Chain A
Amino acid sequence: MTEQIASLVEERPRGLFGDAWHVLRRRALFWVAVSIIALVVLMALFPGLFSSGDPNLAELSRSRGAPSAAAWFGYDNQGYDIYTRVVHGARATLVVGLLSTIGVVLVGATVGMLAGFYGGWLDAIVSRIADVFVGVPFVLGAIVILTTLNAGGDAGTVRIVAQVVLSISVLSWPVSMRIMRSTAIAAKQQDYVKAARALGAPPSRIISKHMLPNCVAPVLVYATIALGAFIGVEATLSYLGIGLRQPVVSWGVMINSAKDYLRVAPHALLFPAGFLTATVLAFVMLGDAVREALDPKLR
C-alpha cells in the first residue's frame, strides 16, 4: 500500500505558477526574451555603463556621418551621436511603456473585476463606457487628446511623458477591463466562489482571496504583451509628431527625426528601429511563453 501511495506522490503538485515556472525555465525563447529585456532595462537604468557620450550634444560638422569606430552607429542629421542617443533613449521608451501598462492594468483590472463580480447595473454602465472608448479609433483618439493637451504651449520632460502615458492609458484600458471582467464572470460561476459566499465571506475577501489568484493569469499575459505594444505605440505617436519630443530622447523620437532623411542616412532610422523592434519582440515573446506556460490545456 505504501509503495502505491509513494508512486503517486512522486509527482508533487506544484500549483499553477510553480508549474508554469518549471515549464518556462526550460524554454529557450523565454531566456532569449529575458536577456534582451534585462539588457534594455540595464541601459535604461544606467546609460553611463554603455556610453559616456552626451545624447544632447550636436556636432553639425559630423551630420549624417556613417557608423565608424568613434561612433558605432554613426550620426544623424543634426550631428547627434546615434549610439549614445539609442542608449539614453531606452529609458524614456521603457518608462512610457511601463507606466502605460501599469495604468491600464490597474484601472482596467480593478474596474473589470468589480464589474464582473457585482454584475447588474454597475456592469452595464462600465461596459457602455468601455464601448465608448473602444469606439474611438486609437490613433485618432491619441491625436485628438495630445494635440489638445499640447495646445497649452511648451512643456517640460515630465509633462511630455505624462501626456503620452495618459493618452495611451485612457484609450487602452477597456481591453484589460474586458479581459478581467470575463475571467471574473467565469470565476464567479465556480463552485469555490459559491461556497465562499455561502460561508458568509465578505466580497472583499472573496475577490482578493478566491477570485484574484485565479483571474491573474490572462491579465498577466496581456500586460506583458501590452508592454511591448505600448512601446511600439509610443514610437508611432512620436513618429506622428505628437508623442515624445525634444528634450526627451526616445527611440520613437529618433525615428521621427530620421524619417525625412531616409534616403541619405538610413542608419539614423534603422538603428533605433532595430532596437525598438528587438525590445517589442522580447516582450511579445515573453508574453507568449508565459501564456503557454500558464495554459493548463497545453500541458
Chain B
Amino acid sequence: MGRYVLRRLLQMVPVFLGTTFLIYVMVWAVPGDPFEGKCGERDCPESYVSAMRERFNLDDPLLVQYAKYLGNLVQGDFGLTSSGLQVADRIAATFPVTLKLALVALVVEAVIGITAGVVSGLRNRGFLDSLVLVSTLFLISIPVFVTGYVVQLVFGLQLGWISPTVTSPTIGNLIVPGFVLASLSMAYVARLSRASISENRRADYVRTALAKGLPQRRVVGVHLLRNSLIPVITFLGTDLGAFLGGAIVTEGIFNVPGVGGLVFRSILTKDGAMVTGVVTVLVLVYLLMTLLVDLLYAVLDPRIRYD
C-alpha cells in the first residue's frame, strides 16, 4: 500500500509541473505585451513596467522564469497582484468560501443522488424508476447557469423565498447555490448508482447471500450496497475536486465571494500573478483529490489493494 502511494505521488509530480507550466506559458509567454491593459485604460508608467519585469523575471528565458516562480511558490510567496496585494492573502480569504460551497454541493448531490439512484435501481421499470430517469436527463441537459438563473428568478425574484444573492457566506445561505452547483452532478450520481445497483443485483454473490438465508434487508443494505457504491463514492471524490475549480458560474450568479469570482475578475483584468497563483493552487488541490480518490478506491475495493 505504501509503495502504491509513493508511486502515485511520483506520478503526480510531472503532471503538476506540466499543468502549471502550461498555465504559466499561457498567461505570461504569449506574444504581445503582457502588461497590456493591466493599468486600466492608460499605458503603464515606465517605472511600473520595469519594476514588474524585474519582479516577474520577464527578462529571463522562459524556463528560468518558471523555475524561479516555482521556487517562490515553495516558499509560500505567490507574488503580488498588479495592485500590490499579496496573492496568497487573497487566495486564503476566498478559498474557504468556495470550499464551503463545494462541500454543501457534495452533500446535496450525495444524499439526493444516491437515494434516488438506489431506490430506482432496486425497483426496475417502475414509475419511480422512469421518474428518476427522466428528471436526471433534464438535469444533465440544462447548463448550470440556466439552472442558476431560473432558480434565482423563480425562487429569489418572483417568489421571494430566498435572497437572490448571497450576502454573507454562511452554510445556510450557501444551500441554494450549492444545490445549483450540484444539479448536474446529482443527476450523474443518481444514474451511476442506479446502473451500479441494477448491474450488481444479478450478481452471483447476491444469490449466495440469499441462499445463506440472510434477510433481504441485509442482502441489499450490506452486500449489494457495499459493492455498488464503490464507483459512486469514487465519483463523488473526483467531483469535489471539480467543484473547487468549476464553481465560477455559480459564484457569479449568486455573488458568492469565492475563488471562482476572484480568478474570473483577475483573468479579465489580466492580472497574471493572481491567475497563475490561483490556478496553481487549484491544480494542486485537484491532483491531491485524485490521489485521495485512488486511495479511497483501494480502501473500498480489496481486490485492487495488493497491486
Interface residues of chain A, those whose CB is within 8 Å of chain B, are 128-129, 131-133, 135-140, 143-145, 147-148, 151-152, 228, 232-233, 235-236, 239-240, 255, 259, 262-263, 266, 269, 273, 276-277, 280-281, 284-285, 288, 297
Bound Cα distance A128, B15 (Å): 6
Q: Shortest beta-carbon distance, A291 to chain B, in Å?
A: 10
Bound Cα distance A232, B199 (Å): 30
Q: A136-B23, A144-B279, A263-B157 are in contact. Are A131 and B264 (CB under 8 A)?
A: no
Q: Shortest beta-carbon distance, B131 to chain A, in Å?
A: 14
Q: Shortest beta-carbon distance, B281 to chain A, in Å?
A: 11
* Pairs A–B under 8 Å by Cβ, sample size 13: A129-B18, A135-B287, A136-B19, A137-B282, A138-B246, A151-B36, A232-B143, A235-B145, A255-B145, A262-B149, A273-B146, A281-B137, A297-B199
Which B residues lie within 8 Å of A132 (CB)? 15, 18-19, 22
| Chain A minimum-CB-distance residue to B202 | A297
| Chain A minimum-CB-distance residue to B244 | A137
Q: A132-B18, A266-B153 are in contact. Are A148 and B249 (CB under 8 A)?
A: no
Q: A128-B18, A262-B153 are in contact. Are A140 and B144 (CB under 8 A)?
A: no
Which B residues lie within 8 Å of A148 (CB)? 26-27, 30
Within 250-288 of B, Cβ neighbours of A (below 8 Å) are at 252, 263-264, 267-268, 270, 275, 279, 282-283, 286-287
Q: Shortest beta-carbon distance, A299 to chain B, in Å?
A: 13
Interface residues of chain B, those whose CB is within 8 Å of chain A, are 11, 14-16, 18-19, 22-23, 26-27, 30, 32, 36, 137-138, 140-146, 149-150, 152-153, 157, 199, 242, 244-246, 248-249, 252, 263-264, 267-268, 270, 275, 279, 282-283, 286-287
- CB of B287 within 8 A of CB of A147, answer no
- CB of B141 within 8 A of CB of A239, answer no
Bound Cα distance A189, B283 (Å): 35
Could you tell me the dominant secondary structure of chain B's interface residues? helix
Q: A240-B264, A285-B137 are in contact. Are A136 and B143 (CB under 8 A)?
A: no
Q: Shortest beta-carbon distance, A220 to chain B, in Å?
A: 18
Of B142, B145, B246, the residue contacting A137 (CB under 8 A) is B246
Q: A135-B286, A262-B153, A284-B137 are in contact. Are A140 and B142 (CB under 8 A)?
A: no
- CB of B145 within 8 A of CB of A236, answer yes
Bound Cα distance A148, B24 (Å): 12
- CB of B15 within 8 A of CB of A151, answer no
Which A residues lie within 8 Å of B279 (CB)? 136-137, 140, 144
Q: B138, B146, B286: which has the most chain A beta carbons within 10 Å?
A: B146
Which A residues lie within 8 Å of B27 (CB)? 144, 148
Bound Cα distance A276, B264 (Å): 24
Identify the 8 closest CB pairs spanning chains A and B, nearest first: A137-B245, A132-B18, A281-B141, A280-B141, A232-B143, A135-B19, A131-B15, A273-B146
Bound Cα distance A234, B246 (Å): 15
- CB of B143 within 8 A of CB of A139, answer no
Q: Shortest beta-carbon distance, A51 to chain B, in Å?
A: 23
Q: A276-B146, A280-B141, A288-B137 are in contact. Are A143 and B264 (CB under 8 A)?
A: yes
Q: Shortest beta-carbon distance, B91 to chain A, in Å?
A: 14
- CB of B144 within 8 A of CB of A236, answer yes
Could you tell me the dominant secondary structure of chain A's interface residues? helix
Of B143, B252, B287, the residue contacting A235 (CB under 8 A) is B143
Which A residues lie within 8 Å of B249 (CB)? 139, 236, 239-240
- CB of B141 within 8 A of CB of A277, answer yes
Given contacts A131-B18, A284-B140, 19 further A-B contacts (CB under 8 A): A128-B11, A128-B18, A132-B15, A135-B287, A136-B23, A140-B246, A143-B264, A144-B26, A144-B27, A144-B267, A147-B267, A148-B30, A151-B36, A255-B145, A276-B146, A277-B142, A280-B143, A281-B141, A285-B137
Which B residues lie within 8 Å of A266 (CB)? 153
Bound Cα distance A92, B21 (Å): 33
Bound Cα distance A232, B143 (Å): 6
Q: A266-B153, A276-B143 are in contact. Are A140 and B137 (CB under 8 A)?
A: no
Which A residues lie within 8 Å of B138 (CB)? 277, 281
Bound Cα distance A228, B137 (Å): 12
Which B residues lie within 8 Å of A239 (CB)? 143, 145, 249
Bound Cα distance A135, B238 (Å): 11
Which B residues lie within 8 Å of A139 (CB)? 245-246, 248-249
Q: B149, B152, B242, B263: which has the most chain A beta carbons within 10 Å?
A: B149
Which B residues lie within 8 Å of A269 (CB)? 149
Bound Cα distance A140, B141 (Å): 21
Bound Cα distance A148, B14 (Å): 24
Bound Cα distance A132, B279 (Å): 13
- CB of A232 within 8 A of CB of B141, answer yes
Bound Cα distance A12, B57 (Å): 72
Bound Cα distance A292, B263 (Å): 41
Q: A136, A235, A255: which has the most chain B beta carbons within 10 Å?
A: A136
| Chain A minimum-CB-distance residue to B17 | A132
Q: Shortest beta-carbon distance, A107 to chain B, in Å?
A: 17
Bound Cα distance A147, B27 (Å): 9
Q: Shortest beta-carbon distance, B46 to chain A, in Å?
A: 22
